[in-house]
């Protein structure tokens, strides 16, 4: 089964893919409005032949927005608490340069969230 993990944000989202037991960073999408984001996600789902989409949710208002986004694209949700912090820490430990880290931070967070989801199954 092929999975797409999404770390949702108000201006950009991080994406991760998995075709087995390991998740890997895919890309970061910056967007202006929800309509263009939803179209971009649907195009990726079709292009990559994604069978299941997982959107990471946190707490409070951002968590509610993430849940709404997941409903809009017919995705499952999974807890992403602290994945951004973990992504930064792991990329620093892995020697990823600061510029690359900033560019891909959300994709790394999506990867950690998706890996946690896969591990929990």
Q: What class, spelled out in words, does domain 3-120 have in CATH?
A: alpha beta
Is the dihedral angle over the CA atoms 98, 81, 112, 47 positive or is it negative? negative
Q: 18 pLDDT band (50/70/90 cuts)? A: very high
Instruction: Compute the chain's Rg from CA coordinates.
Output: 13
pLDDT grade, residue 72 (50/70/90)? very high
Residue 57's DSSP bridge partners are 79
Which tops the pLDDT comparison, 121 or 14?
14
Query: Whole-prediction pTM value?
Result: 0.87
| Average pLDDT over the chain, rounded to an integer | 88
| pLDDT at residue number 96 | 66
Residue-level pLDDT at 60? 82
Question: What would the pLDDT profile of 92-114 be if each residue is shown by its tens digit?
Answer: 677 767 666 566 788 888 999 99
Q: Which among 71, 64, 56, 51 has a CA at the least distance from the CA of 13? A: 56
Domain residue spans in the chain? 3-120
CA distance 104 to 87: 9
């Amino acid at each position: 089964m092929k999975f797409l993990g999404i770390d949702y944000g108000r201006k950009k989202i991080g994406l991760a893919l998995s075709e087995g037991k390991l998740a890997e960073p895919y890309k970061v999408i910056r967007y202006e409005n929800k309509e263009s984001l939803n179209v971009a996600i649907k195009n990726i789902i079709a292009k990559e032949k994604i069978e299941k989409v997982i959107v990471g949710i946190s707490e409070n208002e951002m968590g509610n927005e993430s849940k709404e986004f997941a409903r809009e694209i017919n995705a499952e949700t999974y807890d992403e608490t602290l994945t951004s912090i973990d992504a930064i820490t792991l990329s620093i430990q892995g020697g990823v340069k600061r510029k690359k880290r900033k560019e891909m931070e959300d994709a790394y967070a999506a990867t950690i969230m998706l890996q946690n989801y896969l591990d929990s199954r």
